[in-house]
A and B are shown apart, each in its own frame.
Chain A
Amino acid sequence: MRAISCIALSVFRESVRDRVPYNLVIFAILLIASSFFLGQLTAGQDVKIIKDLGLAATAVFGLFIAIFIGIGLVSKEVERRSIYGLLAKPISRPQLILGKYAGLVLTLAVNVTVMTIALYAVLAYMTWTTAPALQTAWDAPGIDARLLKSVFLIFVELMLITALALFFSTFSTPLLSAALTLGLYIVGHFNADLRNFEKVVESKTAAWLARGLYHLLPDLSAFDVKTQVVHGLEVPAGYLALTAGYGVLYIALLLIVSILIFSRRDFK
């Protein structure tokens, strides 16, 4: 446990000193803030736009952080050969993978927290400056705890993307890892369409293949409840638990496979 937390803290420190996540967080906060001005242009829709943009910014900038730092976690160590010194210390390869992963999840947790606070700050200002009579036209209250449900699932999704980036980086180059992770992110959001593929194709083989792919690839659309929470619709606790459970299971499988690959790898 000590080794894993040591490595995780080192990843966190590297991320903090790296300017990329800083820039992304600042940019995301600016975007959330600018949604406030955008909201002013559309009467009655302002709060909805702020929530939409705020949650989307949290998801997209979190994705950038997960991919750009995630792919470098292992491959950069291998490419620059800093892994030689590290693996000669009393740590096992599985501990290294788990520590790297935990470090980036910690970084993401901090980033998502900062972005969520920024979103709530804008929403609080909005609620404070809007007359109560006008607020009755809103689909949901300005400061709505239900937003946290969406933030929670965004965070689990980002954890899954990080595990994907880490998985690819255990055996391929940073550039290829980034392309593959981004590709899977896009495919993952359209994955649900593969489930009902037999309704649009006649070939049984194609339908069977599509269903196989549906089960193999991550179904990321399940993590997207932004529309529901923005419109004030209820997201049942059971759905949250089931989706988070699916995410955790997928992450666990990815980490196990990453460890298996990494534990057998030669560092030439």
Chain B
Amino acid sequence: MPPAIAIEELTKDYAVGFWRKRPYRALDRLSISIETGEIFGFLGPNGAGKTTTLKLLMQLIFPTSGRAEILGQPVGHVATRQRIGYLAENPYYYDYLTAEELLGYFAQLFGYDAADRRKRIARLLDEVGIGGERRLQLRKFSKGMVQRVGIAQALINDPDVVFLDEPMSGLDPLGRREVRNLILRLRDQGRTVFFSSHILADAESLCSRIAVVAGGRLAAAGRVSDILAFEIRGWELIVTGVTREALALVAPGARRTSEISPGHFTIELATEPPPERVLADLIAAGGSLVSLHPIRDTLEDFFVKRVAAAGSAREMPSARD
């Protein structure tokens, strides 16, 4: 079975400058492959090339070189779009249409009959949390509500592959949780979800695999569990009922100690000595334990390191003469 999405050496140059045009490389030989049924996180800072990649996949722009396939067909294959959903970054739709009419218009383009359209529209608008507002014109919608409508229109055709460009953008915490659950439901239904984001917590909690792009280049790709070393880098201990002097005696090797409130401390310990020993000494000194957490690499740490490395390696080669 071919991968749901296959991208090979995809490159995009833009001409910049007014009089003397020179190429600017927005995407540089990107190669990734996304399997059917996985949630793939496409991460990177602003201007990294995420939206450029998504636009290339939707053939809103044409590649300078390289190729990409969706569901075994080259991008731009009109019939394949029958099985694809796409949410653009900060989407904008038609002011004069209501949410229902917009979805109706798009559903018509997919060829659904009137009864089917009505059912799909009602179900999807319920799913994204658009209630009585569905009969309001979109110009009266807030940014978050437009985003919800955008997600609904991306799913109007029950797509096999869904492309979401910054799907959490403009949503409140409740909305973000709902979209997270929606993405997980899509995966459970066997659909492939490709989403771009710079919010790492979303990727960490949702994705089976991720790719990190920086400066138009692939900085890393793989399983979140492979990318993040599982080993413990230290311990975070929160204790109460001790003095700073007592702490200095029992935990002399602490990397960092900070007093949250009088007698209430956060201590960052190294892996050695084991935290049990420090904890026993603290209790003996009259303190009591509030919490103890292992410190591991987060996706954010990884992201910052990789993006910084990509930035220093690049030395602005994108603005080529």
Please report A residues at the B interface, Cβ cutoff 8 Å.
2-3, 6-7, 10, 13-14, 17-18, 80-85, 87-92, 264, 266-268
Contact = CB atoms under 8 A, between A and B. Distances in A.
A113 B163 CA distance: 45
Please classify how large the interface on chain B is, using the bins under 10, 10 to 19, 20 to 34, 35 or more: 20 to 34
B108 A6 contact: yes
B92 A88 contact: no
Contact of A88 (B58, B94, B97, B108): B58
Contact of B14 (A10, A87, A91, A268): A268
B288 to A, nearest CB: 57
B110 A89 contact: yes
B111 A80 contact: no
B78 A91 contact: yes
Contacts of B84: 88
Given A88-B81, A92-B78, A267-B55, A18 B96 contact: yes
A9 to B, nearest CB: 8
A12 B62 CA distance: 31
User: Which of A3, A89, A268 has the most chain B CB within a 10 Å cutoff?
Assistant: A89
Interface string B59-88: 111100000000000000011011011111
A92 B79 CA distance: 10
Interface in B217-255: none
A82 B106 contact: no
A90 B79 contact: yes
A262 to B, nearest CB: 12
Contacts of A13: 96-97
Nearest to A267: B60
B109 A3 contact: yes
Contacts of A7: 109
A162 to B, nearest CB: 20
28 contacts: A3-B109, A10-B94, A14-B94, A14-B96, A17-B96, A18-B96, A81-B92, A82-B93, A83-B60, A85-B86, A85-B87, A85-B91, A85-B153, A87-B58, A87-B59, A87-B60, A88-B60, A88-B81, A88-B84, A88-B85, A88-B86, A89-B81, A90-B81, A90-B82, A91-B109, A264-B62, A267-B61, A268-B61
